[in-house]
Amino acid sequence: MNYIGVNGVLTPSAEAVISVLDHGFMYGMGLFETFRTYQGRPFLLERHLERLRGGCLELGIRYDTREELLRLEIAQLLQANELRDGYIRLTVSAGTGPLGLPPEDYTEPSVIIYVKSLPEYDSELYAKGKELWCLTTPRNTPEGKIRHKSLHYMNNILAKRELAGLIRNSYSKGVPEGLLLTAEGHLAEGIVSNLFFVRGGKLFTPEVGTGILPGITRSFVMELAEHQGLQYEEGRYTWDELVAAEEIFLTNSIQELMPVTTLVGQEGLRYSVGDGRIGPITEMLLDSYRSCTGI
């Protein structure tokens, strides 16, 4: 990463800084979005911006931007970093303020855009799927009415550290994802993904009331399912229901739809999902998703 966008200015990464008085640094006050480009075009950018603007409005962070200007800045960043496509992180930090918790709005937020190369595409991984480990770290409850994609990411980091420790002491191959449950024991979401599973030809996903992030890819996949005439349900589900699933997949903006073919419980027991390959409904939805990206 050679260049970062800082408040609309292409900045060498070694020179990209924000104030130590920025409340994003001091209190985790800020939001971010991650998405990727296809053939240089950010996918579902308008939806990411809508979520970001709504979150900033609720937090009293006065952020707005024209979508056309953001697209231009992303294109310039890709070119400066010699990338055709990239993994984009758009961060809005609250901006500077006094020591303490002010009730007033933040009027001058810091806006930072990072770009890096996308992970190398692994066709075998999308065919054979990955492992999903059930963690003991619980999904914490949202700070407000719904979970925002906030700069306060400690719950996810603790979960990632737990998963790393489990992997070190196992014979696991590849890079598994970790699954967080609610304090009541219901399925929530992955460390960096939303969860779906299939039973009886019907799609299930944990409801937003479990404290999950209402993911952009998650909602888009539900729209695709409806368009395909596939029934789906949002609700509260248990680990045992997941173990009995015919298909499981994870969603996020970078990985798209990632099949899961092995579950690992908290006690270390392993469970196979389906026949060990991407299931037909997952494959149908993945194909539909990719057709919308233009690839």
Whole-number pLDDT of residue 125? 96
pLDDT at 95: 96
Alpha carbon distance 13, 10 (integer Å): 9
Residues 149 and 275 in one domain: yes
Same domain, 134 and 263: yes
Indicate the pLDDT class of residue 146, thresholds 50, 70 and 90: confident
- The pLDDT of residue 172: 73
Average pLDDT estimate for 241-258: 98
Q: For residue 183, what pLDDT is reported?
A: 95
Q: What's phi and psi for 30, nearest 5 deg?
A: 170, 170
* Predicted confidence (pLDDT) at residue 149 exceeds the cutoff of 70: yes
Residues 231 and 198 reside in one and the same domain: yes
Q: What are phi and psi of 141, to 5 degrees?
A: -80, 150
Q: Are residues 151 and 92 in the same domain?
A: no
pLDDT at 201: 95
pLDDT over 70, % of the chain: 99
- Mark whether 113 and 139 lie in a shared domain: no
Mark whether 90 and 141 lie in a shared domain: no
Same domain, 62 and 137: no
144 and 111 co-located in one domain = no
Q: Which residue has the higher pLDDT, 1 or 196?
A: 196
Q: Are residues 101 and 137 in the same domain?
A: no
For residue 26, the domain's CATH number is: 3.30.470.10
Q: What is the pLDDT of residue 1?
A: 67
Confidence check: pLDDT of 16 > 70: yes
The torsion region of residue 94 among left (phi > 0), alpha (psi -120 to 50) and beta comes to alpha
Domain-ending residue, one of 117, 133, 163: 117
Quote the DSSP letter at residue 51: H
Residue 104: give the domain boundaries: 3-117
**pLDDT tens-digit profile of 41-68?**
999 999 999 999 999 999 999 998 899 9
Q: How does DSSP classify residue 140? A: P
Range in 145-149, 239-243, 267-271 the model is least confident about: 145-149
Per the structure block, which two tokens stand in for 228? 């395909």
The Cβ-side half-sphere exposure at 247, using a 13 Å CA radius, reads 23
pTM over 0.85, yes/no:
yes
Tokens encoding 288: 């539909």
Residue-level pLDDT at 143: 78
The mean per-residue pLDDT over the stretch 167-180 comes to 87
Q: How many domains does the chain have?
A: 2
